[in-house]
């Protein structure tokens, strides 16, 4: 009989002497280097390899941007800035980190609703492209530009009239706080032409965390159509068409890695039409998690093995305050396990089914729910994979006042 339960997609980290290796170091050694647990470790070679993999499969015309909110650790952003063609920021804090990298400011864009005057002013002065989320924001940008004596570079973020199907996080279509409804964009562009603004183009981001090729292919086709249609109303040629991203990461049992070759093939089919309609446009894809998630692990230490009514709990020093997503409380509807293992006993001698929990006083503080792994003792290291994106900075680190984890780029 075959076991038909869904499994996690295979994990690619190397193992030596039954111990996981990251960045060429055994995990136990890395924990010694860290000096304390818990910690996040990001593997720089894997970041580099991931960008190369994208370059291999996507058409050469595509400009690749890193959406920094997935992992804004300055060392990671510095590394990524040397590999990609642009950075996307969503706050003044991220903008500061981005401007410390060698990336030219004209290749940095700033999206997000609710940008403050102070954030807008800094971005205008820096020469960053502002992805405008509303007509009101456009008016504020024009006034601030005049005050600063700098012509702001702007793009219109469009809330498309379609959705990215089967995306777990829809960011466009229907009523949204993001972008300007597509049907209102022509009027906005007419007004834009009368303001002292440099028009760059459009930003059309329809959704996140998508593993389905057909859905992405359809979104790309519709996005290009929309960009080309709106360009007819633009006050200047479109120099940038940002078609979003949304490439997903296989986190849960049954998830399969995105077929990037098929996504690239479809883009290759569509690009000649775009080239013809928008000859000056650079075509941008912005990715967060796809670039960084699989390069990162979260590591915590077993403090105690505890048995309760036949179930084994590994109580660790890590938990949802450091890694909300792995606990299932970051937008998941039904909690599913991330890939988790005992990193210093990958196969082990005995296997058992355990739940891995943290030190917080809530049953939500769960890193693995009844998963099979090797038998662990106090002192062993638990590893949560696929943790390079939306880990530390997407977690409520102040909850229960434990210290934050450290982060390392290895």
Ligand X SMILES: *Cc1c(COP(=O)(O)O)cnc(C)c1O
Nearest distance from residue 93's CB to ligand X, in Å?
15
Which pair of structure tokens corresponds to residue 399?
Answer: 């909850």
| Torsion sign over Cα 195, 197, 198, 203 | negative
**Closer residue to ligand X in complex, CB, 8/65:** 65
Residue with Cβ nearer ligand X (325 or 368): 325
Return residues touching ligand X (CB under 6 A): 67, 69-70, 88, 111, 205, 208-209, 244-246, 286-290, 389
SS3 label, residue 117 = helix
- Considering the complex, state which of residue 67 and residue 241 has its C-beta at the smaller distance from ligand X: 67
Helices (H), 205-317: 213-231, 260-277, 289-292
Shortest distance, position 64 Cβ to ligand X, whole Å: 12
* Smallest distance from ligand X to CB 70, Å: 4
Question: What would the two tokens of residue 156 be?
Answer: 């219109």
Q: CB 91 → ligand X: shortest distance, Å?
A: 11
361 is a catalytic site residue: yes
In sequence order, the β-bridge partners of residue 26 are 21
Nearer to ligand X, 234 or 325 (CB): 325
CA-CA-CA-CA torsion sign (148, 153, 156, 157): negative
Measured from the CB of residue 6, what is the shortest distance to ligand X in angstroms?
A: 22
* Tokens describing residue 183: 């049907």
Q: How far is the CB of 205 from ligand X (least distance, A)?
A: 4
Q: Smaller CB distance to ligand X: residue 366 or 384?
A: 384
Q: How far is Cα 162 from Cα 11, in angstroms, rounded to an integer?
A: 34
- Alpha carbons within 13 angstroms on the beta-carbon side of residue 338 total 31
SS3 168: coil
Q: What are phi and psi of 302, to 5 degrees?
A: -75, 125
Q: How far is residue 399's CA from residue 123's CA, in Å, rounded to a whole number?
A: 32
Q: Which of 182, 186, 191, 180 is nearest to 139 (CA)?
A: 191
Q: In this complex, which beta carbon is closest to ligand X, that of residue 160 or of residue 245?
A: 245
Secondary structure of residue 107 in the 3-state scheme: helix
Non-local (6+) Cβ contacts of 163 within 8 A are 170, 172, 173, 174, 206, 207
Active-site residue (options: 19, 122, 300, 361): 361
Tell me the catalytic residues. 361
């Amino acid at each position: 009989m075959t076991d038909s339960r869904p499994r996690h997609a295979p994990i690619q980290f190397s193992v030596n002497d039954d111990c996981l290796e990251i960045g060429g170091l055994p995990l136990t050694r890395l924990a010694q280097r860290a000096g304390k647990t818990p910690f996040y470790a990001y593997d720089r070679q894997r970041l580099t390899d991931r960008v190369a993999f994208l370059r291999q499969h996507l058409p050469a015309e595509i400009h690749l941007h890193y959406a920094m909110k997935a992992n804004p650790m300055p060392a990671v952003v510095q590394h990524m800035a040397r590999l990609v063609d642009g950075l996307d920021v969503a706050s003044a804090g991220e903008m500061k980190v981005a401007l410390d990298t060698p990336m030219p400011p004209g290749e940095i864009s700033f999206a997000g609703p609710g940008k403050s005057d102070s954030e807008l002013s800094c971005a205008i002065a820096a020469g960053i492209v502002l992805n405008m989320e509303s007509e009101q924001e456009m008016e504020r940008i024009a006034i601030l530009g005049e005050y600063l004596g700098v012509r702001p570079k702007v793009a219109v973020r469009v809330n498309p009239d379609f959705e990215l199907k089967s995306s777990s996080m829809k960011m466009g279509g229907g009523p949204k706080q993001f972008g300007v409804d597509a049907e209102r964009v022509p009027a906005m562009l007419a007004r834009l032409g009368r303001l002292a603004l440099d028009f760059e183009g459009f930003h059309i981001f329809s959704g996140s965390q998508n593993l389905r090729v057909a859905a992405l292919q359809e979104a790309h086709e519709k996005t290009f159509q929309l960009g080309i249609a709106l360009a007819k109303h633009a006050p200047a040629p479109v120099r940038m068409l940002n078609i979003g991203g949304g490439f997903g990461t296989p986190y849960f049992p049954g998830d399969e890695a995105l077929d990037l070759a098929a996504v690239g093939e479809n883009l290759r089919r569509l690009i000649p039409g775009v080239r013809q309609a928008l000859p000056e446009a650079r075509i941008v894809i912005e990715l967060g998690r796809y670039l960084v998630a699989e390069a990162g692990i979260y590591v915590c230490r077993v403090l105690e093995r505890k048995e309760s009514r036949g179930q084994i709990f590994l109580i660790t020093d890590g938990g949802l305050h450091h890694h909300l997503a792995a606990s299932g409380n970051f937008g998941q509807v039904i909690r599913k396990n991330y890939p988790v293992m005992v990193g210093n006993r990958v196969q082990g001698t005995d296997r058992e089914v355990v739940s891995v929990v943290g030190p917080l006083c809530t049953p939500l503080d769960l890193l693995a729910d009844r998963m099979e792994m090797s038998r662990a003792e106090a002192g062993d290291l638990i590893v949560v994979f696929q943790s390079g994106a939306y880990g530390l900075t997407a977690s409520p680190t102040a909850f229960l006042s434990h210290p934050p984890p450290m982060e390392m780029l290895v």
